[in-house]
Structure 1
Amino acid sequence: MSDRHAAFHALHHAGTPLLLPNAWDHASAAALATRGYPAVGTTSLGVAAAAGLPDGAAATRAETLRLARLLRGVSTLLTVDLEAGFSDDPAEVAALAVELAGLGVVGINLEDGRSDGTLDPPALTADKVAAVKVAAPDLFVNARTDAWWLGVPDPLPQALERAGAYRAAGADGIFTPGVPDAATVGVLVAELDAPLNVLYRPGGPTVAELGRLGVARISTGSLLFRAALGAALATVDALRSADPGPAAGPDPRVGPAVPPEPPSYAEVQRLSGAVEE
């Protein structure tokens, strides 16, 4: 196992949670790397939305690969969200994983949710996990079950059954987005023989609380992408609302209530300096 792969695996066994921010393009990943995060993930929603494509519909294989190529020069460990692998053929999913590993990617997410709101048969996702681990054994495979995310009835038993199957197939970690409360998180930590990854939810348990529960990894998912969109809208709306119009002239006493100072043009230019095609 390479030093980079070993380092990423070790981050899930450090005794404190790995806070994994999720990027959607080169600039966001490079900016996060400058803040000292040891690893960055991609967000499938952000990648899809930035390309004008739907998330979770196996529509962004090319965009996902292109982003991985762009991020080769970014100084942080990278794990990539593959939705359900962009294929129902385990061999095709494994071939994609090998290609990503060749680009320096150290981990992937594989989910069992389908675009029609149902879950794949657990055996299918387990077969994908097993195929990836045979083809690219050093990759950290984070197997995601969408039992809560898709609102299936009685999700806890389904999640535990699926997680057990994915772990038996070789998954290195289990991701359970949408878990509703700290008590359920505690049950998952106690029952699963694998590092548990949860999705941070504003208003839910804090990073410190999740750490005390034994969570190994906390992802931001699409939160940062959505926050960036919200900040852009808030900034331009503040500019518009603070402008009284050409007839009245600007009021020097009134300034737009903009979000905190964004990165400068020059800073963003520097972030783009490591792009490789």
Structure 2
Amino acid sequence: MDSHEARFAEFLAAHRGPRPLVLPNAWDPASAAALFAAGFAAVGTTSLGVAASNGLPDGEGATRDATLDLARRMAAMPGLVTVDIENGFSDDPETVARTARDLADLGIVGVNIEDGRAGGTLADPEAQAVVIAAIKERCPHLFVNARTDAYWIGLDDPLERSLERAARYTAAGADGVFVPGAIPDADVRTLVEQIDAPLNLFFVPGRHRLDDLAALGVARISTGSLLYRTAIGAAVEAATTIRDGGAPSADVPSYQDVQAWSLPS
């Protein structure tokens, strides 16, 4: 078993454990290194975090270079890395598959690819299945997490749409299915029961607890842009607290810690 195959098997097994895989999402090398240092065996990227931190729009294919640059840096870190490639940064299946191959060659273990499109629409499911099949043909040991956005966009009949698309995507070779959005527990149970692949959800603060999602059968929990947005919120709160005469929490990483994370050995 070569290294790609071994890492793929390790990552796949992490989706079939007794508890869900909690996958935090980084937006730069320091945040990724900090998460690995905190003991996470696998770390993903957040497309919003990568886009916003580079002054680019999310979900419009503008972050390909920034995403690949972050992937190169994270690939050198001691853990498993999965990368959000939005819609693949192209409408051409072979171009998307080449991007996936480039990531796999770096040692990246997985990708998220979404079917949501600008303007609140979804990609044609047959065309999306062709893209997924092209990735798996070139990269059989890359974990393809196929995201379908009916709940996220707020379309009618999201459960039926999600199940139909999940069936097409898994038939095309997807290793996991990602259904983001505010999803009723009853729908989550149905998704788990009827999708022939591990189910990934976003963690929604105030709605979700790890144990509850585990009881529903969810295999993977992603933080998405939550950590990035939390970091910005904490920074603004600290600044305004100082401005208003208070003292922000001293319980933060040290200068030396962040320097080490930003320049990993």
The interval holding the TM-score normalised by the smaller chain is: over 0.9
* TM-score, structure 1 normalization: 0.92
Point out where structure 1 has 5 or more consecutive residues left out of the alignment.
243-254
Residue in 2 that maps onto 1:53: 56
- Give the aligned partner of residue 137 of structure 2: 134
Amino acid at match of 2:146: A
Query: Quick one: which amino acid aligns to residue 208 of structure 1?
Result: D
Matched, 1:271 2:264: no
CA positional deviation for 1:14:
1.1
Structure 1 position 259, deviation (Å): 4.0
SS in 1 for 2:152: coil
- Per-residue deviation, 1:260: 5.6
Give distance in 2, aligned partners of 1:72 and 1:160: 33
Q: Name segments (4+ residues, structure 1) moved above 3 Å.
A: none
**1:238-277 Cα deviation digits (max 9, x unpaired):** 00001xxxxxxxxxxxx42x246111111111112327xx
Match of 2:31 among 9, 28, 41: 28
Equivalent residue number for residue 2 of structure 1: 5
Measured after TM superposition, the shift of residue 95 of structure 1 is 0.2
Q: Distance in 2 between matches of 1:59 and 1:236?
A: 31
- Does 2:177 align with 1:187? no
Deviates more, 1:266-275 or 1:207-216: 266-275
Q: One-letter code of the match for 1:83?
A: E
Distance 1:158 1:185 in 2: 14
Instruction: Determine the C-alpha separation between the residues in 2 that align with 1:53 and 1:34.
Output: 28
C-alpha distance in structure 2 between counterparts of 1:265 and 1:40, whole Å:
23
Which residue identity lines up with residue 102 of structure 2 in the other structure? E
User: How far does residue 179 in structure 1 lie from its aligned partner after superposition?
Assistant: 3.7
SS at 1:159 equivalent? helix
What amino acid is aligned across from residue 60 of structure 1 in structure 2? T
Residue 19 of structure 1 deviates from its aligned partner by 0.3
Going from structure 1 to structure 2, the CA distance change for 1:175 and 1:267 (only over 3 Å counts) comes to same
The residue aligned with 2:124 is: 121
SS at match of 2:168: helix
Q: Which amino acid aligns with 1:11?
A: A
Where do residues 1-277 of structure 1 align in structure 2 (5 Å cutoff)?
A: 2-242=5-245, 255-256=246-247, 258-259=248-249, 261-274=251-264
- What is the rounded CA distance, in whole Å, between the counterparts of 1:179 and 1:143 in structure 2? 18
TM (normalized to structure 2)? 0.96
Give the C-alpha shift of residue 39 in structure 1. Answer: 0.3
CA RMSD of aligned residues (A): 1.1
1:101-143 per-residue CA deviation (whole Å, 9 max, x = no partner) reads: 0111000001000022100000111111000000000000000
Q: Deviations over 1:3-51 (max 9, x none)?
A: 2221111101112100000000000000000011110000000000001
CA distance in 2, matches of 1:125, 1:24: 26
**Deviations 1:179-227, CA, capped at 9 Å, x for gaps:** 4222211111111111000000011121110001110000000000000
Q: Report which of the two structures shows the higher radius of gyration computed on alpha carbons.
A: 1
Q: CA deviation at 1:72?
A: 2.1
> Residue 142 of structure 1: SS of its match in structure 2?
strand
- Return the alpha-carbon distance in structure 2 between the equivalents of residues 67 and 12 of structure 1: 24
